[in-house]
Each structure stands twice: as structure tokens, then as C-alpha cells.
Amino acid sequence: MSEEKSAGKALEEKLLTQKKNGLLKTDAAETERADAFCEGYMKFLDDAKTEREAVTASVALAEANGFTPYEFGKVYRAGEKVYLNVRGKSLILAVIGKNSLENGVRLLAAHIDSPRLDLKQHPLYETSEFALLKTHYYGGVRKYQWVTIPLALHGVIYKADGSGVTVNIGEDDSDPVFTITDLLPHLAQEQSKRTLADGIKGEELNVLIGSRPFRDDDVSEKIKLNVMKILNEKYGITEDDFVSAELEIVPAFKAKNVGLDCGLIGAYGQDDRVCAYPALEAILDCDNPEYTAVAVLTDKEEIGSVGPTGLNSDYLRHFLESLADMQDVPAYTVIRNSKCLSADVTAAFDPTFTDVHDPKNASYCNYGLAMCKFTGSRGKSGCNDASAEFVSQVRRVFDENGVIWQTTELGRVDLGGGGTVAAYIGNMDIEVVDVGVPVLCMHSPFEVTSKLDVYMAYKGFSAFIK
């Protein structure tokens, strides 16, 4: 016995947008696939907390999947898989397509740098019987979130003789960790009167790195010397070598399931590894695509895509030009016929701070991959505003491939805003739209995402480049 829908109900379903939790639109098997996919993602989060580590981890996965280092000037045939390591901090991966490059490439662009605390060039000092490290924060951090948590030290140091060492302290269970002190509430009456933005100031983000003196009364800074002695024994460095180092302070904890139902992931650096990893997996799984598929995992998004490893430089253009040369096609033809998903996170609707969102246009955890037609601030300023034509193409790709997706806007009008690499890719004359995973607590030491949304990013990116 079937129940007839009322005319109004049928019309409502036909004409009005039907929003629904993605987990109620899928079966248990799809949820299991999402959970399985996220096991690999959580391992990637633990292995790759910095842009350099993300490149290293991604290259290892790429080589295991048949990708070889790209050689400028070499001719590659359809189906061949290559990667270009851009100065150890950005990475381009490509699978040559069956179609001529005249038809452009299908591009995925995500970033692998995350907000953190960088060490200054003269970081190490001793005061009040402690050794500490001065930092200068990188990207948009809420400074009060970075005190009284376990911190790790990652990065590279290049010595006077030009040789380099890789640093990673605080991730192994046997490693020590570091931390930034904050006041006890008993003595915080004056500090508590500061605004939240000033609760902890930039010059107060000093990392505790040692407390035991070197035993010699002739030495003036015994604790600092003892720390430097330990670093010298471990890495062969002197204090001068901090000048040519890139050392990053990041949270020391690992990715965890969040919630009794384990539906969410909590971890540092999900902006934007939560898009970079699905983009990486999508291109690793991409065999014999119609169009040449390209994934770029870029550095420096969080500080404006600057420098030769940021997408406001020409490194991606040079790679596309090289592909064009290979098939004797004008580079401008390849570039202007290319299409891109700018894969970056968006603000998930926060259940406690609801009034920063327009609930009709916000994205929600578990509602799937989120498409953001425009970002920017104060009237879309500084953003890429994707064309209706291209948004229509992308929504069709998602709908035809079982991708659960939603739209998003980065908060209420005039409350703030932000940008992504989409603006720079658009400037190259490439059609581009922002698509990414909603994140709670974005830019905090412990960002939260939904496993279903992470998996839908993989499905969406795969469908776009296949």
C-alpha cells in the first residue's frame, strides 16, 4: 500500500531546496567508507604538521603510486604520472590526460601551510632561571589559544657550511614537549581586564625550552648554554645557525576521534590538510583521465600566497607552460581552457556561537563538501567570485557522481572574512571556484571536521579530475 504525496508536498520537493544531514542521505556502507578513508587522513595529519613534512609525506605516497619526478623538456604520454617538488615546500602532481592540452587541465589547489608560531632569527634567551624561545606567529592565530598546551618543534636548520638538518622534537612518545606559560587565575586580575585579542600578546608567546644550568660559575647564562649544548650534541648547530633556520612551533598532540560516535576528527593543521589530503588521494587514484589532471599542494596561503612557494608566484604557470611546450600548444591556450577547484576549508556553523553565521547560507558539519562562490570581506573585496556558468558545471559533476555537497559563506556579511588561493588562480585566467570542508575552531591548535565531509571532498575532487 503506497501513500500518495499531497500535491503541495510533491511541489515543495520539486521546487524548493531540500537541505538534509548528509548521514541521512547515505547508507551505512558509505559511512564506513568515509571512516576508512579518514584513517589514512589522520595518519597523514600526524606525519605532516608542516609544509615541508607534507611535501615529504606526499612525495612518498606519490612514488609508491607510480609517480616519478617531473623533468622539464621531457615528453610524457597519456597516463604517465609525475610530480614536481617546488623547493621542498610546495608540490605539483600531474597525470597526463588522453585529450590534447589544448583543452586545458583540471586543477585541484590546496595549501599545506598552517597557522603556527615561527621562531625568530635570534630566538634563544635566558631569564628568571629558564631558557625560552622568542616566536613570531605565522598566519591568523588567536594568541590566547596557544598557551598552556604541549608544543613540538619542527623544521630545518642550515649551518654556516651550508649543510642542513631536519628537526622534529615532541612527536615521539619518548620526546619532551615545550609550552608557553600563562598566569594563574589568582594573579590574573589585571590580565583579565585585557580584551580577548590582547589577552596574550605577540611578545608573550615565549616557549619554555629549558630549566637546568650548565655547572660552571664562570658562565653567565648557564641554562641557555645547557640548552645550546643539548642542541649542539643532537644537531651539530651553534646559536648563530638559528639565523638560517625555519623552525615552527606546532601543537604536540595527535589527531583524535571526537565524540562518542567518533563522527568527527580533532587535530592541528586541518586547514588545509583536510583538503590537501583528499586532493592528493584523488590524483593518486586518477588513472588515464580525459583531461590532464593536476593537483597543487602549496605553501604560504596563510600569509597571502607570497614568495616563490606561494601561489601568487609563477611556479604553477611555469609548470603549465612546460606541459604546453611538450605538446607544442600555446601556453595561453592551455591556461585559459583550464578549470580549477580551489580546495580550502570554510567555517562550519558553530553550535555555540551561532550568531556569527547566516544560518541560511552557512555550511554545516556532516552536510558534505561545501562550495563557496565567493569569499573576501567588506563586499566580496579581494576574492574570486566564481561565474554562474562554472558553478553550474561543478554542481553537475558533483550530482552525477554521488557527492553530498552544500554551499557556504564565510560568516555573516561585514563580520570579517577571508580569502583563498582562488583569487590568484583566477588572475591566471583560469575558471575557479572554492570548494572545501567545513571546520569548527578554524586556526586553533585543535580544529574539528566531520569524517563524512572529508570523504566527500575526496569523492568530489576525484569526480572533477577523472
When the beta carbons of 241 and 271 are compared against Mn ion, the nearer one is: 271
When the beta carbons of 171 and 271 are compared against Mn ion, the nearer one is: 271
Of 68, 88, 90, the closest CA to residue 77 belongs to 68
Q: Cβ 177 to Mn ion, closest distance in Å?
A: 24
Alpha-carbon distance 418 to 355, whole Å? Answer: 18
Please give the residue ranges that form the binding site for Mn ion (CB under 5 A): 271-272, 344
| Residue 123 Cα distances to 17, 117, 250, 281, angstroms | 55, 12, 16, 38
| Residue 51 Cα distances to 104, 126, 436, angstroms | 28, 30, 19
Alpha-carbon distance 179 to 158, whole Å? Answer: 25
When the beta carbons of 272 and 453 are compared against Mn ion, the nearer one is: 272
Q: Cβ 272 to Mn ion, closest distance in Å?
A: 4
Q: Cβ 32 to Mn ion, closest distance in Å?
A: 28
Q: Cβ 463 to Mn ion, closest distance in Å?
A: 22
With contact defined as beta carbons under 8 Å apart, do 69 and 88 qualify? no
Q: Cβ 416 to Mn ion, closest distance in Å?
A: 12
With contact defined as beta carbons under 8 Å apart, do 222 and 213 qualify? yes
> Quick one: cell of 317?
604557470
Q: Which residue is nearest to Mn ion (CB)?
A: 272
Q: Cβ 347 to Mn ion, closest distance in Å?
A: 10
- Report the 10 Å Cβ neighbour count for 185: 9
When the beta carbons of 272 and 281 are compared against Mn ion, the nearer one is: 272
When the beta carbons of 81 and 443 are compared against Mn ion, the nearer one is: 443
Q: Which residues contact 102 (CB under 8 A, 6 or more apart)?
A: 327, 329, 333, 334, 337
- Rounded to 10°, the helix 451-465/28-47 angle is 90
When the beta carbons of 298 and 462 are compared against Mn ion, the nearer one is: 298
